[in-house]
């Protein structure tokens, strides 16, 4: 039995994980191997690379990937490992830019935007140039949102994965949106602590005053006074009636795992006097997609453990917890509004980004506080509350996935 299996056996259901899972590089490397490289990760939106040759880098767990627009068609986007096929130098060094081709500054090999090797010098005649193209990553566009798999031979079936929730996103017409701001929060904590925090609002009342004012369900879920509960119930009943004619599906979708990657979506009402996710409850930008009126809804979805989209009727955010090492995670955040909206005339960027920026800074602080505690030898796994059911569900699925991967590795080595 390997060390991970041994650790997994000692985890108690309904409790947080033992410290090794939050701090050991060996556990992190096992996770990378078990599912992280194969699973689909949200890497950005196609509007980040509007013109042929535009690219950005996506970096995860020591891997660097070039995501590039390879042609003029809407879907002409490809992703390659940012590693030269000669002796492995990194090709693109800047986080984003525009290139006519990818050029290696070590010995001057060059590659087409589509990844094929374009030129080399003084190489043996017998070698076939076509075998030395850049190594492709898996790439899927979900209505303009870019998902990557760094090991596509091990990737879950993406279309099957999103099949049961795809219609929930139709009304937002995500493909016709534009990124207006991007922020990378450098989190000094294990990625699972970030995801655990993201999946519960047990900390919202004390940790997020702005989010709590904007989302009345926080106080209602906390049962913070009969008035808060009654007010939200009244609001929610009226809200259900008001959105019924629009035909939107409300509540939580099925939780479905496809080849080990979970996907779900949920829609509910924010609260009275708040038509969107703004500080003052007022509209922030033109309505998205096919939405005809500000409707006080929020739709959020997860695509695997690390990737999320949260949409109000006039803007959305994409969120990815991108693991870098056992103790470091990038929280990559983008804010998007309708493609035709113009800054200044139709929206104020600072106003659109205000709520989720302040909330994410508060989260970063709390998650790092958590990380500093679980680093201590005195840390012991603690029980999840009823408001942390989603976090507890994540941890159960994580443990099952790791156990499955260990068992698969065992049977593989028994065969060999």
Footprint of ligand FES on 70-89 (CB under 6 A): 84, 86-89
Tell the smallest beta-carbon distance from residue 122 to ligand FES (Å): 11
Secondary structure string (H, E, C) spanning the chain? CCHHHHHHHCCCCCECCCCHHHHCHHHHHHHHHHHHCCCCEEEEEHHHCCCCCEEEEEEECCEEEEEEECCCCCCCEEEEECECCCCCCECCCCCEEECCCEECCCCCCEECCCCCEEECCCCCCCCCHHHHCCCECEEEEECCEEEEECCHHHCCCHHHHHCCCHHHHHHHCHHHEEEEEEEEEEECCCHHHHHHHHCCCCCHHHHCHHHHHHCCHHHHHHCCCHHHHHHHHHHHHHHHHHHHHHCCCCEECCCEEECCEEEEEEEEECCCCCCCCCCCCCCCCCCCCCCCCCCCEEEEEEECCCEEEEECCCCEEEEEEEEEECCEEEEEEEEEEECCCCECCCECHHHHHHHHHHHHHHHHHHHHHHHHHHCCCCCCCCECCHHHHHHHHHHHHHHHHHHHHHHHHHHHHHHC
Which residue number is nearest to Fe ion in terms of Cβ? 363
Residue 61 binding: pick among ligand FES, Fe ion, none (C-beta 5-8 Å cut-off by kind): none
CA distance 407 to 172: 41
Residue 89 binding: pick among ligand FES, Fe ion, none (C-beta 5-8 Å cut-off by kind): ligand FES
Contact status: 106 vs ligand FES (CB under 6 A):
yes
Number of residues that bind Fe ion (CB under 5 A): 1
Question: Looking at beta carbons only, is 88 or 209 nearer to ligand FES?
Answer: 88
Interface characters, 357-376, with Fe ion (x: CB under 5 A): ------x-------------
Residue 363 binding: pick among Fe ion, ligand FES, none (C-beta 5-8 Å cut-off by kind): Fe ion
Number of residues that bind ligand FES (CB under 6 A): 9
Contact status: 4 vs ligand FES (CB under 6 A):
no
Contact status: 107 vs ligand FES (CB under 6 A):
yes
Residue 84 binding: pick among Fe ion, ligand FES, none (C-beta 5-8 Å cut-off by kind): ligand FES
Tell the smallest beta-carbon distance from residue 113 to ligand FES (Å): 17
Contact status: 227 vs ligand FES (CB under 6 A):
no
Question: Looking at beta carbons only, is 127 or 252 nearer to ligand FES?
Answer: 127
Tell the smallest beta-carbon distance from residue 111 to ligand FES (Å): 10
In this structure, what token pair is assigned to residue 219?
């106080």
Stretch that binds ligand FES, among 27-35, 102-110, 257-265, 318-326 (CB under 6 A): 102-110
Residue 341 binding: pick among Fe ion, ligand FES, none (C-beta 5-8 Å cut-off by kind): none
Tell the smallest beta-carbon distance from residue 320 to Fe ion (Å): 16
Contact status: 117 vs ligand FES (CB under 6 A):
no
Contact status: 129 vs ligand FES (CB under 6 A):
no
Residues in Cβ contact with 391 at an 8 Å cutoff, skipping those fewer than 6 apart = 196, 197, 199, 200, 384
CA distances from 217 to 7, 197, 214, 389 (A): 37, 17, 9, 16
Tell the smallest beta-carbon distance from residue 245 to Fe ion (Å): 33
Residue 86 binding: pick among ligand FES, Fe ion, none (C-beta 5-8 Å cut-off by kind): ligand FES
Question: Looking at beta carbons only, is 89 or 266 nearer to Fe ion?
Answer: 266
Question: Looking at beta carbons only, is 82 or 212 nearer to Fe ion?
Answer: 212
Question: Looking at beta carbons only, is 10 or 105 nearer to ligand FES?
Answer: 105
Residues in the site for ligand FES, rule: CB under 6 A?
A: 84, 86-89, 104, 106-107, 109
Residues in the site for Fe ion, rule: CB under 5 A?
A: 363
């Amino acid at each position: 039995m390997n060390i991970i299996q041994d650790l997994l056996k000692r985890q108690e259901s309904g409790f947080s994980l033992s410290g090794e899972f939050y701090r050991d590089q060996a556990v992190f490397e096992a996770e990378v191997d078990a599912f992280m490289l194969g699973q689909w990760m949200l890497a950005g939106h196609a509007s980040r690379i509007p013109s042929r040759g535009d690219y950005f880098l996506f970096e995860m767990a020591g891997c660097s990937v070039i995501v590039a627009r390879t042609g003029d068609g809407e879907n002409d986007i490809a992703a390659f490992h940012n590693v030269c096929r000669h002796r492995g130098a990194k090709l693109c060094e800047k986080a984003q830019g525009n290139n006519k081709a990818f050029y290696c500054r070590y010995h001057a090999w060059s590659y087409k935007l589509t990844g094929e090797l374009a030129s080399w010098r003084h190489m043996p005649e017998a070698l076939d140039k076509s075998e030395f193209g850049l190594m492709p990553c898996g790439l899927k566009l979900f209505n303009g949102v870019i998902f990557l798999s760094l090991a596509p031979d091990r990737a879950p079936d993406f279309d099957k994965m999103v099949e049961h929730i795809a219609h929930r996103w139709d009304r937002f017409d995500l493909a016709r949106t534009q990124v207006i701001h991007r922020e990378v929060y450098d989190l000094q904590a294990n990625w699972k602590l970030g995801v655990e925090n993201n999946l519960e609002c047990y900390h919202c009342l004390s940790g997020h005053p702005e989010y709590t004012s904007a989302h009345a369900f926080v106080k209602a879920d906390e049962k913070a006074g009969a008035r808060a509960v009654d007010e939200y119930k009244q609001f929610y009943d009226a809200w259900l009636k008001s959105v019924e004619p629009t035909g939107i599906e409300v509540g939580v979708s099925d939780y479905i795992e496809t080849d080990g990657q979970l996907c779900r979506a949920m829609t509910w009402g924010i609260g009275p006097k708040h038509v969107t996710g703004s500080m003052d409850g007022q509209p922030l930008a033109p309505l998205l997609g096919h939405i005809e009126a500000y409707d006080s809804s929020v739709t959020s979805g997860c695509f695997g453990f690390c990737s999320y989209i949260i949409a109000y009727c006039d803007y959305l955010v994409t969120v990815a917890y991108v693991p870098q090492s056992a103790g470091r995670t990038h929280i990559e955040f983008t804010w998007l509004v309708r493609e035709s909206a113009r800054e200044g005339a139709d929206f104020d960027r600072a106003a659109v980004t205000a709520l989720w920026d302040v909330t994410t800074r508060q989260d970063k602080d709390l998650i790092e506080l958590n990380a500093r505690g679980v680093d201590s030898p005195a840390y012991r796994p603690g029980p999840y509350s009823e408001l942390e059911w989603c976090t507890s569900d994540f941890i159960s699925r994580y443990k099952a996935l790791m156990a499955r991967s260990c068992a698969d590795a065992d049977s593989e080595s028994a065969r060999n």
